[in-house]
Structure 1
């Protein structure tokens, strides 16, 4: 397996770089959109609340592959062209943000309502109270499930291989088809994914323990 890695290091490195880039962009994008949707879901504005809830339910209940193929196949028909990388990454953002929104919403709802009222009574707006008082506490509560969502995002980034996204899985398929070392190749690719996700898992566990001891 070491020889396989050394002989195909350029392809594997390119795939790893693409996977990490898609994962980081997907993580940031899904966290931002997910947080916004979570805030809107618990807002007093009924119309906005319904729209956010519809967004979350829609993307939670559609296969990731369908979303990715929409950007890769359907969008170009209407003049919006995306390469495999961006089709996969945008699909990851929309799909993961729905789960992130649901997770953060649960955290927000776990905060006593009196804290929102206390924040508003000091002169803070709804958004300011949510940003400075509610969200920091909500993030601490949902840190473990949020970490699981980010690990799932990294694993789900392999969907880029379906749309020639030149990611780690795509390069693995290419190497396996040219070297005929199928077992060794996919074992190596699986090990590399493990090397990416395990540090995230340990980091989230460390943060959880840190905040638990701090509280």
Structure 2
């Protein structure tokens, strides 16, 4: 049992955890940008465009993430877009999480009283100025806990990229216990603890922000 937790194995697991965190951070940045744009477009009811974006989001949200990972890694090269394992995982997670975050953004924007928009417009601001200077700052505060919860889900979802051999935490644990089947349980324990620590810390932050939201 102690040999399973040797420094070499732990360092290999930490390397995998670092890849998991890197993929998660890059994916959430891109997802926030795309999801924010998509959610704003749907909120603004742009003729035709909002409906098209809504259909695309509904399709993506109802697809399994594993299928999207397969698509980015195996199907995209067939049309001339070849991504390495890291960026294929990022692309898949970004596509999937953008759809989820777009609904969070739309719900947050819808939660702001419509009188705020009317007040901004009546004061001489354009719709875009009202949206960026008045509506979004208020909406983002209420959206933040939900965004962090989605980030927690994203971190756990990175484990699905093991199917394309992304050297993340689960993949590295699999390699370790593949060399010695006696390490299966110790590796599961180590991986569980690492995921738990990262996700729990984020859940604490989310809970704090949720509580703070109602203190104003």
**TM-score, length of structure 1 as denominator length:** 0.93
Alignment of structure 1 residues 1-215 onto 2, 5 Å: 3-5=3-5, 6-180=7-181, 181-213=183-215, 215=216
CA distance in 1, matches of 2:2, 2:96: 35
Superposed CA RMSD: 1.5
Structure 1: where are the runs of 5+ without partners?
Answer: none
Structure 2: where are the runs of 5+ without partners?
Answer: none
CA distance in 1, matches of 2:2, 2:119: 60
Distance 1:114 1:179, change over 3 A: same
**1:193, CA displacement in angstroms?**
0.6
**1:80, CA displacement in angstroms?**
0.9
Structure 1 contact 140–208 (Cα < 8 Å) conserved: no
Residue by residue, what CA displacement relative to the aligned partner does 1:27-76 show, whole Å, maximum 9, x if unpaired? 11111111111100011422111122112102101110111111100111
- Deviant stretches of 4+, over 3 Å: none
Structure 2 contact 142–213 (Cα < 8 Å) conserved: no
**TM-score, length of structure 2 as denominator length:** 0.93
CA distance in 2, matches of 1:65, 1:89: 13
Structure 1 contact 16–167 (Cα < 8 Å) conserved: yes
